[in-house]
Amino acid sequence: MNVPIFFAAVGSRSGEYEMVYIWEQATPEGKAIIGCLVVFSIVAWSVMISKAIQMRRAKRLNHFFTTEFRTQKPVLDVFDRRIQAEGCPMFMVYQAGSLELDARLRVPGDGGRKRFVSLKGMEHVKRTLENCVAQESLKLESGLILLAIAVSGAPFLGLLGTVWGVMSTFGHIAQQGSATMAAMAPGVSAALITTVAGLLVAIPSMFGYNWLVHNLRVLTVDLDNFAQELVSKMETEYLEE
């Protein structure tokens, strides 16, 4: 038999048995805290995966939309052609601004458009774009608070389980009147597992949160820049001098 493979197999089984033994030695409070941390971990990974997919899709759709938008000379051309791009933040900003501008340009009665819009009307369009940018940013940001809670709360939950377990172990030893290593080790090791569980939740959540926040800032800046570009084109075409 291959000796390294044999020792690897023995080490794997030993590690598995150690974890099972430590879990069996844990107090009910410690097990409950680990259960809460497992739920935290599932929620955190679900948020990270869903937000990563959402932001990646938003970036791709923004790229496609800006490419189409910049090939058209009239600023309302995309709006007039009734193009739809659901899930694209830049399109939602463009759609909101175009709807407001179109409403300001409409002539009551015949449904035609005026050649120019007043300065006051253009200010309303700007505020509409600003509100839409804020709303789209909030949509992209939604759910990140759960990651922030996992990053900050999981280590403290783990520490609570460890302190509780150590306190319980020392209380049990005090009642027995014997402070041997064999009596202390199981309880202390079972108490420390909650700290490990808390760190296993917090560390991936921290990396995921920072990466998502960076992407959110990039998308928000892109939205702001696009809104300014859109306003500039609208003023050039429709604002009366």
Tell the burial category of 68 from Cβ atoms under 10 Å away from its Cβ (0-12, 13-18, 19+): middle
Domain count, the chain: 1
**What's residue 192's pLDDT?**
85
- pLDDT tens digit string along 85-113? 888 999 999 999 999 998 888 887 776 78
Q: Report the distance separating Cα 185 and Cα 174, nearest Å.
A: 14
Q: Report the distance separating Cα 194 and Cα 240, nearest Å.
A: 68
Q: Which has more pLDDT, 2 or 215?
A: 215
% of the chain exceeding 90 in pLDDT: 48
Mean pLDDT of 68-92: 87
Q: Report the distance separating Cα 151 and Cα 154, nearest Å.
A: 6
Supply the range of the domain harboring residue 232: 3-238
Q: Report the distance separating Cα 158 and Cα 30, nearest Å.
A: 9
**pTM value?**
0.80
**What's residue 118's pLDDT?**
84
Q: Report the distance separating Cα 90 and Cα 228, nearest Å.
A: 12
- pLDDT tens digit string along 158-184? 999 888 888 877 777 777 766 666 667
- Burial code of 170-192, b = ≥16 C-beta within 10 A, e = fewer? eeeeeeeeeeeeeebeebebbbb
SS3 readout for the chain? CCHHHHHHHHHHHHHHHHHHHHHHHCCHHHHHHHHHHHHHHHHHHHHHHHHHHHHHHHHHHHHHHHHHHHCCCCCCHHHHCCCCCCCCHHHHHHHHHHHHHHHHHECCCCCCECCCECHHHHHHHHHHHHHHHHHHHHHHHCCHHHHHHHHHHHHHHHHHHHHHHHHHHHHHHHHHCCCCHHHHHHHHHHHHHHHHHHHHHHHHHHHHHHHHHHHHHHHHHHHHHHHHHHHHHHHHHHECC
- pLDDT tens digit string along 117-139? 888 888 999 999 999 999 999 99
